[in-house]
């Protein structure tokens, strides 16, 4: 006598629930890992303006080191007011390109270069930056077209810091707003930031009500490390037809 055993094509309900729980658990772990990676190590940002030209241009997709200067609430999503100060805080170097939360509106994330450290006295005269009475040496280079505004003619100027680090700035001409700024002594826990596109940057040369003022250390998010990729103006995440509108010469560029 032969006994036929029926085999069901549908797995038991308990098996489906078990697999659903495993998938859900895996997704939760992945999300937590991604969030921790974003908070503790690296975070991506997109450059929305021209204030750091020529080194950074609109559409650059950059990677920021979250651990370079330690952590503060500025490193967290939504900047929750949990604890003051910085955990394992380390001081930025003069010349570092830093991402930070704007003091007057912490929802805004800006990027500038560190020019003045705590204890420094910084002044700008005729477009030349003076730190503790000494001018930051400038080398006048050629005239070029502004990357983001080709009708604008600017001069490239190389600045060289005392430790030998160099970077290139844009000069839009003489006697422009920001070419002269009074001497300011930087107090403890504050930094003076400036954009490389000197005549197209609201920064530490202006008071906090209109520019950056003196940046508190706890507002720092991290150090800009590399341009991973760059999209042309008008491209966007929700415009799939623009995803390949890349600036192909701006891949994996170290930020100096």
CA distance 11 to 30: 27
> Which is catalytic among the residues 51, 72, 75, 230?
51
Minimal CA–CA distance to 250: which of 104, 73, 47, 83?
47
| Letter string b/e over residues 69-103, b meaning 16 or more CB atoms within 10 A of that residue's CB | bbbbbbbeeebeeeeeebeeeeebebbbbbbbbbb
Active site residue 112: yes
Query: Residue 143: is the preceding peptide bond cis (ω within 30°)?
Result: no
Planar angle of CA 107, 113, 117, nearest 5 degrees: 100
> Which is catalytic among the residues 75, 112, 201, 230?
112
What backbone phi and psi angles, to 5 degrees, belong to 71?
A: -125, 150
Other beta carbons within 10 angstroms of residue 124's beta carbon come to 21
Catalytic sites, residue numbers: 51, 112
């Amino acid at each position: 006598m032969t006994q036929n055993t029926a085999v069901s094509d549908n797995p038991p309900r308990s098996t489906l629930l078990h697999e659903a729980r495993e998938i859900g658990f895996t997704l939760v772990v992945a999300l937590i890992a991604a969030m921790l990676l974003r908070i503790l190590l690296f975070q991506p940002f997109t450059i929305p303006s021209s204030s750091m030209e020529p080194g950074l241009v609109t559409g650059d997709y950059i990677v920021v080191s979250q651990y370079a200067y330690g952590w503060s609430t500025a490193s967290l999503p939504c900047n929750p007011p949990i604890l003051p100060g910085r955990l394992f805080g380390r001081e930025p170097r003069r010349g570092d390109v830093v991402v930070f939360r704007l003091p007057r509106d912490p929802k805004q994330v800006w990027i500038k270069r560190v020019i003045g450290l705590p204890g420094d006295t910084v002044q700008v005269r005729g477009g030349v930056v003076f730190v503790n009475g000494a001018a930051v040496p400038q080398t006048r280079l050629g005239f070029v077209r502004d990357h983001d505004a080709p009708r604008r003619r600017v001069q490239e100027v190389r600045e060289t810091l005392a430790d030998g680090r160099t970077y290139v700035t844009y000069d839009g001409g003489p006697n422009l707003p920001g070419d002269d700024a009074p001497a300011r002594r930087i107090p403890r826990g504050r930094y003076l930031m400036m954009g490389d596109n000197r005549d197209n940057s609201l920064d530490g040369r202006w008071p906090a009500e209109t520019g950056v003022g003196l940046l508190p250390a706890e507002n720092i998010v991290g150090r800009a490390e590399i341009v991973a990729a760059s999209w042309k103006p008008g491209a966007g995440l929700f415009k799939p037809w623009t995803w390949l509108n890349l600036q192909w010469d701006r891949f994996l560029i170290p930020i100096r």
